[in-house]
Amino acid sequence: MKREITKEDKELAAAGYEHLEEQKHKGKVEGKDDLENVDIQEHRMSLHDLSQTLGTEIDSKDPGQSYGLTSDDAKTRLLKDGPNILTPPKKKSALRKYLDCLMTMFNLLLIIAGILEYVLLGIDFKDNFANTYLGGILIAVAFLNAFIEFYQLQKSEAILASFLAMIPPSCRVVRDGTLMSIPAADLVKGDIVLIRSGDKTPADLILFAANDLKVDNSSLTGESEPQERFPRPNGANVRPVEADNLVFNSTLVVNGEGWGVVVRTGDHTLIGQIASLTGGESGNRSPLSIEIGRFVLMVSAIAILFAVVFFVVGITTVYKGKAAQTVTFAVSILVAFVPEGLPSVVTLLLSIAAKRMAAQNVLVKDLQGVETLGTLHQLTAYEGLTLLATDKTGTLTRNQMTVTNIWSGEKMYSAFQSNNDNPDTLPFSIDAPGMRETVDIAALNSRVKFDKTDVPFEQRKILGDATETGLTRFAGRYISDYDGHQKAYPKVFEIPFNSTNKWALVILNKKHENGTLTAYIKGAPERVLAKCSTYLKDGKEVPITDDFRKAYDKAYDYMASRGHRVIANAQKLLPSPDYDSNTAFAKTDGNYPATEYCFVSLTSLEDPPKHGVREAIGTLRLAGIKVMMVTGDHPKTAEAIARKINLILGDTKDTLSAKTGRPIEEIYDDEVEAVVVHGDDIDGLQGWQWDQIFAKQEIVFARTSPQHKLEIVKRAQALGHIVGVTGDGVNDSPALKKADLGIAMNISGSDVSKEAANMILLDDNFASTVKGVAEGRQIFVNLKRSIQYTISHSTPEVIPQLLYVVVPIPLPLSAILILVIDLGFELFVALSFAWDKPETKDGLMRMSPRKPVNDRSILSLKKQALRRTKTLRRDPETQEVIPPSRFSIWMGKVKATFTRAFWVDVFERADGESLVDTKLLSYAYLEAGVIEMVGALVAYFVVFFKNGFGPSDLRRAQISGRAYPPNFLIMLEYFTKSSPDFLNSRGEIIPAWKQVDALGQAQSIVYLSVFIIQCFNVYAVKAKFSYPFGKSIVGNYYNLAGILAGACLGMFIVYTPPLHVVFGGSVHLSPLYWLIPIAFGVLLLGWASIRVVLMRKSIEQSRVKDIKGLMMFPTMRTMSMRSRH
């Protein structure tokens, strides 16, 4: 039952989803000429000729019995042909990477400014000789800045490369008649390889046996649909790309299984011959890297604008036509505004984060992203994560299935020692009715393989998925000769399980009273039951009745509600003469028994949650991240597991109905916080229904297909969510690829899922996602602190320059001293923020995501989308959208600036936090910046006063230095070695040497004041949750090292006489003057403490509230061993 929704509400809800409805998949065929010219001919040969040519033994009737190559032969071939690896694509040279680092906006501004100084030197060498130092330093700093960034990039690349080497691709191969797993690099021509759904093909293979095998060739041919592949005993006389008996290296197996013989390895494979397909770089950019790019452009534009303005003001006032000096003055303004070290800070932050993630067994897969700004896109995607969609089996659970209960003949049996079953549950016995058939279906309708067959069953490693492995382990306990049992009943026909059918069928040569063939089917209970007309009871087939269906529903709910996976089993004894050994079964024609089966049993398997999953999900939810389960399991099973792991705490409509006795139809959507959506309902959901689902805090999607998972991700992204997806199977790969952050499992994950993901959890530990979120958020905080700290010095650098022009007073800071501030101690201290640790233990992980998705943000997005929709041009007949031209798009943007809606959107209050927002700018320019400026100017005037210059004297001296009108011939210039004596307001005469020394002392104290107050600012910018005095604030020893290095640099510049030629300065500056900026530094810490108090309420409001019922104790073993209450 739903509350009334108006037409306007539905129209608004549908907005933003149109592009998802209109998307059509179009395959692009790239490198077509290359595909035509490849040199592969083996697919034309018959299997017999191929076997002779390659010198290997294959058995197409029973491929598992193929002997393959001997180990010695394989070693010889490996030495002859080399390893099965592709020559990596040509990477950028170290020089090219360095040049990329050098060609950033900030570095280019420095280089241009430096070149400009040298141009002035060429115009007038004598007067501009001092600019030699300034120009050289500007250019050198740009190169040094680029080197720091380049060095960190190289380190990051080395870290990631070492972790890629930890997970070499492997494959299943038959050697010496034994199926084994070996590194794919050791494959040689003639090897027999088994490929299965989820595998990445390790080499070019010719198939000699296959069962419903489909491969994804889109990376090679652009075909969007999976292509079916099967053996051709006599070969296929077509082009290689059209051969359906040939499977190419690096293509992904998405369905079925096949046996093939290796015909090409390494660079001789099809993909190895097409160099153009092995290159190409990812163009993904995270929201954070986009913000950094915008900030760089914004600051650069402001710096250029102010430099031009100050140039114009300077040349018309204080410098009166002296272009050379005015340019140097404008350069100082440019340098003051630009945070030159930002690219290095970003790179270092991400490099350190990558190292930390590597220590947590998290592999950042995309190496190509390391070569650009916005490096390690996946790490920065973690910091903005708002929704995490996770698979269940193998991701949240251990992927260790154990058979627990069997329901057959309307009786429940326990197959696992348990003390919390119902009293009427019987102990399992192989002689009980229906049990022998259940065991046979588990053993014979199976596609598992064993690593060895010459050891007892208990000692074998089973190669197969978790469900089949659990069923095989169960069946093996009751079959004395497992291999003999399988050989006694050979397969005649098989349809493997897939995510579309959700069942697996096998027809065996197994005799019975009415014939020689028996069909077994197992799969999703609702799908299997739909094919049945009878059920097995006490060894006899009995028609299915309503009473049986009620008993079935009760048993199914009992199993599923305990969080168990439930499999249904059925059989059909195929009668002669309708079915015999000559019957040609075919899946494509539907020529196989699909109805009139006899229901045998329900089998439940328990897969307990992984250790740490419950706490991890609780932590993510307390961090404001919505976690939802997307699984192929039954809704009851999914909900039961979700309740064990903190994913569902509240009521769904079903549970509320059971509690209150109200019919489900009478329960409103807004009465419940949890929802379980069945996959069958997804295709029919409208926009407003998707909105209602995503508005819930606790969401489970069950019985979903791969296409459903992809649709869920797209719908969430359309609402503004930054979506992460975790998964391990083939069915997760489309969603992993589409997500902003795809996370695959290494141990239980398929090759297909690893190929699609951005990150791989090497130890399959779901809790690593929590560490990723914490690391991503800390990256953002540290980067923000670094920017906040760096731009705080702009005000004390720029305002004194303004006073120099307007008042005027002697120049407080020279351009070269500004450069020393920005690229001397400032750069190293700014870099030290990369090692900052969280301010409080759980502060960051109790805050909402910095750009949360809520009702207001969704409404804003939808209003914009609705306006866009109404302005789109459509074809009058088909109503399809006509794509606008680039010019139309550009004109539309220009026109939009003159509309009310545009400015409403611009000034609309957003709940999110940006990298550079008004709070940061206010603190840097108006709070800390003003304190630093006042402190520096106070020290400046005190030093001058002690040297005989009052403020009025400084103004008089500076005005005297300006050009007089033309009828005046005398121009007095003070504060130079050749200056005349100056008579101050106290009647004292100050000679030239003392004027120069006074200016040197004044400029030195301004420089030192900025440095000293910035030392205090290092800790002030960290104060958000707590005062700037705690251990967490001062615990970063790299900050202290940066400050110490800055102090050494400052002392060296100020108190080393030979350097005064370049930097100015004076050895006569008394250390007592340092007390002035120290006092203002203490004032800054005091103000930072006041800010903590003032902002405490708003920070408290943005904290995620405690969640009632959250279980934060460890996930314990849940294998039905709890006592019954």
Residue positions annotated with a catalytic role: 391
Structure tokens at 207: 């198939």
CA dist 790 and 797 (Å) reads 12
- Does residue 839 contact residue 357 with C-beta atoms inside 8 Å? no
CA distance readout (Å), 465 to 184, 390, 448, 1016: 21, 19, 8, 59
Question: Can you name the residues that pair with 506 across neighbouring β-strands?
Answer: 494, 520
Question: Can you name the residues that pair with 261 across neighbouring β-strands?
Answer: 192, 206
The 10 Å Cβ neighbour count of residue 961 is 17
Structure tokens at 1079: 């006092």
Question: Can you name the residues that pair with 171 across neighbouring β-strands?
Answer: 182
Structure tokens at 327: 């340019």
Q: Which one, of 374, 165, 195, 191, lies nearest residue 285 by Cα?
A: 374
CA dist 255 and 546 (Å) reads 37
Q: Which one, of 379, 290, 383, 298, lies nearest residue 337 by Cα?
A: 298
Q: Catalogue the long-range contacts made by 691-696 (C-beta closer than 8 Å, 24 or more residues apart).
A: 691/13, 691/719, 691/858, 694/719, 694/721, 695/855, 696/672
Helices then strands (H, E): number in the chain?
Answer: 42, 29
CA distance readout (Å), 138 to 158, 349, 609, 975, 1080: 31, 25, 59, 26, 30
Q: Please state the length of the chain.
A: 1125
Hey, CA dihedral for 9, 13, 18, 21, is it positive or negative? negative
Structure tokens at 1016: 């205090």
Q: Which one, of 797, 727, 781, 725, lies nearest residue 1023 by Cα?
A: 781
- Does residue 246 contact residue 206 with C-beta atoms inside 8 Å? yes
Cβ-based neighbours of 432, under 8 Å, separated by 6 or more: 408, 411, 413, 426
Cα dihedral 1089→1090→1091→1093 (10° resolution):
90
- Given the DSSP bridges, would you call strands 982-983 and 989-990 parallel, antiparallel or unpaired? antiparallel
**Nearest-10 crossing angle of helices 992-1020, 768-791:** 160
Range list of β-strands (E), 164-277: 170-175, 178-183, 192-196, 204-216, 227-229, 246-247, 252-264
Hey, what amino acid is at 695?
A
For the chain, give the longest Cα–Cα distance.
130
CA dist 677 and 655 (Å) reads 14
- Given the DSSP bridges, would you call strands 626-630 and 597-606 parallel, antiparallel or unpaired? unpaired
* Phi and psi angles of residue 569, each rounded to the nearest 5 degrees, phi first: -125, 140
* CA-angle at 53, arms to 48 and 58, nearest 5°: 45
Hey, what amino acid is at 340?
E
Cα dihedral 1110→1112→1116→1120 (10° resolution):
-10
Q: How buried is residue 382: exposed, middle or buried, by Cβ count under 10 Å (0-12/13-18/19+)?
A: buried
Hey, what amino acid is at 181?
S
CA dist 84 and 86 (Å) reads 7
CA dist 517 and 509 (Å) reads 5
Structure tokens at 875: 């074809």
Cβ-based neighbours of 444, under 8 Å, separated by 6 or more: 485, 486, 489, 491, 506, 508, 510, 520
